[in-house]
Amino acid sequence: MIRQILIKELRSNLTNLRFIVGCITCLALVLLITIVLAHDFKSALKTHSDAIASNENALSEVMAYQNLEVKIYKPPQLLGLFSQGVDKEVGGEVVVNYKSSPAEAKAYRSPNPLLAYFPHIDLILIFKVILTLLALMFTYNSISGEKESGTLSLMLANGISRAHVLLGKYLAGAISFTLPLILSLLAALVYITTVGGLSISMEEGIRLLFLTIFSFLFLSIFLLLGLLLSSLTHRSFITLLLALFCWLFIVIIIPNGSPIVAAKIKNLPPRSTVDRQIQLVQDKYYRQFRDWYRKNPWPAGGTNYEWDNVVWLSSPNIMEYTLKTWEFVVPQELQEAQDIWRLEENYLNQVQGVIGMERLLSYLSPVGPYEELTDALANKDSHAYQEFLKSARMHREQILSFYQDKGAFRSYRWFSPYTKQTAPKSHEEVLQRRREWQGSGMEIKDVRGLFAPINPAEIPRYFYQKESLSHIIKRCLGGVAYLVVANLILFSLAFVCFSRYDVR
């Protein structure tokens, strides 16, 4: 019996105009978005590669430890074509130095002008908007519509159980919306791997498989919602109105309203409040530096040649004064960075509180856990961003340990290419070197080639670690359970309502 109902419903669904229009619309939009995002991804890959090469080149030219500045990058993620997550709002580049603890990442700006107008576009958006509506359209009149046409009572009069009717209609609808889902994903993959010239790793393929499974569970909720609404009403027009209202509330209002309500509940202070507190800390240390310079004025006599934040040539008394200055300044700057980080950390904890409340409110709709799962699979969720920043702060600690091991804070190499052994021993030697450089036609800015930079091989390197798939599934198990349980509850409710449904 189920087979007969399944075939009947499939024939009705697949030949229906709404299925054909929905399928074509979905495929067209998916291909269009894939073309745009694949081109953008290739640009991001090139930008990422060029940035790493530029950073390596800069590290090989560092002459003084104080100028050591490491830029670390979160690599572009191929599954970001399917779900962009928080990367639509945040960045993937962090500058690491001794002066500050990273609290945010600089954003990558796409050169694609289309994405400037539609920055939040990805393939999951199509599934959330188009396919959810299509799933509702498959089942909104499954019961009430057949009652109006008189076929429902005829079907039940022939001895077909209500459970078989409901299950057959559900399976037919599930197969029907799975077709545009699979076709859309296949079309995107074919374009990505052929025309786009991009390769998909085994791990990315497995993640994409999980994304497909979660998408099916998500869309199945709307299919069952349509069956439930159809089992509660006796006119397909009324069912359609209820279905559209539920779709609007679940897909549009709750996901977009959750951040606003969460911010109101948690009462997040404006960023300007933290900026003012940071400014007060900076003013405090500025006064300390100013007072120190007043008590320790620049020494009389001597010569000092500085260019590009590096002392290239200086008299012994000025070198000692500069070293003494940095021995005072560096600990103060490190303490200042720590004080500022405490303020940033406190604010970030409040932001995380808002994100947690937003997540809680978003679970009022299946869109919330679905986005959580897809963003996590694409390595584009808030957790991945915070872990990236955390790894940047850990890398800063490695840089500081490197300084300590090298005795950099107490060395001439902190501010110059000299050590105490190689630095000029007298003012006359300074003048002599200056005359030699001038005799060779060199200005101070031209003498870089006469000195050896800091060995770049000794500088700690950063390696990005992506969260494993098993850890993602464990972390997001609540979202998986939500989708499964929501399907079971809706099917049970639909069955109970249909069991009591008056088919006359």
Band (114; pLDDT cuts 50, 70, 90) = very low
Q: What is the DSSP string of 142-193?
A: TTHHHHHHTHHHHHHHTT--HHHHHHHHHHHHHHHHHHHHHHHHHHHHHIII
How much is the pLDDT for 120? 62
Same domain for 130 and 95?
no
The separation between the first and the last C-alpha atoms of the chain, rounded to the nearest angstrom, is 22
Same domain for 311 and 212?
no
Domain membership of residue 467 (yes or no) is: no
Q: What is the CA radius of gyration of the chain?
A: 32
Q: Would you say residue 113 has pLDDT above 60?
A: no
Average pLDDT over the chain, rounded to whole? 89
How much is the pLDDT for 118? 47
Same domain for 404 and 301?
yes
8 Å CB contact between 262 and 358: yes
Same domain for 332 and 430?
yes
How much is the pLDDT for 108? 57
Q: Give the Cα separation of 395 and 178 in Å (integer).
A: 45
Domain membership of residue 205 (yes or no) is: yes
Give 225-236 pLDDT, tens digit per residue.
999 999 988 888
**14 pairs with which residues across the strands?**
none
Cα separations in angstroms, 214 against 122, 130, 211, 235, 375:
16, 16, 5, 32, 12
Q: What are phi and psi of 39, to 5 degrees?
A: -65, -40
Same domain for 493 and 429?
no
Enclosing domain of residue 19: 2-39+117-265+473-499
How much is the pLDDT for 479? 95
Domain membership of residue 143 (yes or no) is: yes
332/176: higher pLDDT:
332
Same domain for 137 and 149?
yes
Band (414; pLDDT cuts 50, 70, 90) = very high
Same domain for 377 and 445?
yes
Q: Would you say residue 163 has pLDDT above 70?
A: yes
Cα separations in angstroms, 158 against 141, 151, 171:
21, 11, 21
Q: Would you say residue 320 has pLDDT above 60?
A: yes
The token pair at 248 is: 């609007």
Domain membership of residue 21 (yes or no) is: yes
Q: Give the Cα separation of 83 and 39 in Å (integer).
A: 16
Same domain for 252 and 282?
no
How much is the pLDDT for 204? 92
8 Å CB contact between 41 and 378: no
- Could you give the count of Cα atoms lying within 13 Å of 273 in the half-sphere of its Cβ? 9
Angle between helices 236-247 and 202-232 (to 10 degrees): 140
Q: Give the Cα separation of 470 and 144 in Å (integer).
A: 44
8 Å CB contact between 503 and 152: yes
Q: Would you say residue 117 has pLDDT above 50?
A: no
SS3 313: strand
8 Å CB contact between 478 and 369: yes
Give 424-455 pLDDT, tens digit per residue.
999 888 888 888 888 787 777 778 888 989 99
Same domain for 163 and 233?
yes
What pTM did the predictor assign?
Answer: 0.87
Give 197-208 pLDDT, tens digit per residue.
888 889 999 999
Band (115; pLDDT cuts 50, 70, 90) = very low
Looking at residues 14-20, what average pLDDT do you find?
82
8 Å CB contact between 476 and 373: yes
Band (116; pLDDT cuts 50, 70, 90) = very low
Band (151; pLDDT cuts 50, 70, 90) = confident
Give 332-380 pLDDT, tens digit per residue.
999 999 999 999 999 999 999 999 999 999 999 999 999 999 999 999 9
Give 244-277 pLDDT, tens digit per residue.
999 999 999 999 999 999 988 888 888 899 999 9
User: What percent of the chain is modeled with pLDDT above 70?
Assistant: 97
Domain membership of residue 214 (yes or no) is: yes
8 Å CB contact between 328 and 288: no
The token pair at 489 is: 């509850």
Q: Would you say residue 316 has pLDDT above 90?
A: yes
SS3 425: coil
Same domain for 320 and 391?
yes
Q: Give the Cα separation of 411 and 64 in Å (integer).
A: 10
Closest listed residue to residue 102, CA positions, set 348, 352, 355: 348
Q: What is the DSSP string of 58-82?
A: HHTT--SGGG--EEEEPPP-GGGGT
Same domain for 323 and 414?
yes
Q: Would you say residue 110 has pLDDT above 60?
A: no
Q: How many domains does the chain have?
A: 2
Same domain for 452 and 384?
yes
Give 31-82 pLDDT, tens digit per residue.
988 998 888 889 889 989 999 999 999 999 999 999 999 999 999 999 988 8
Domain membership of residue 468 (yes or no) is: no
Domain membership of residue 194 (yes or no) is: yes
Neighbours of 342 (CB within 10 A): 13
The token pair at 165 is: 């009717």
Q: Give the Cα separation of 230 and 252 in Å (integer).
A: 22
Domain membership of residue 125 (yes or no) is: yes
- Could you give the count of Cα atoms lying within 13 Å of 337 in the half-sphere of its Cβ? 18
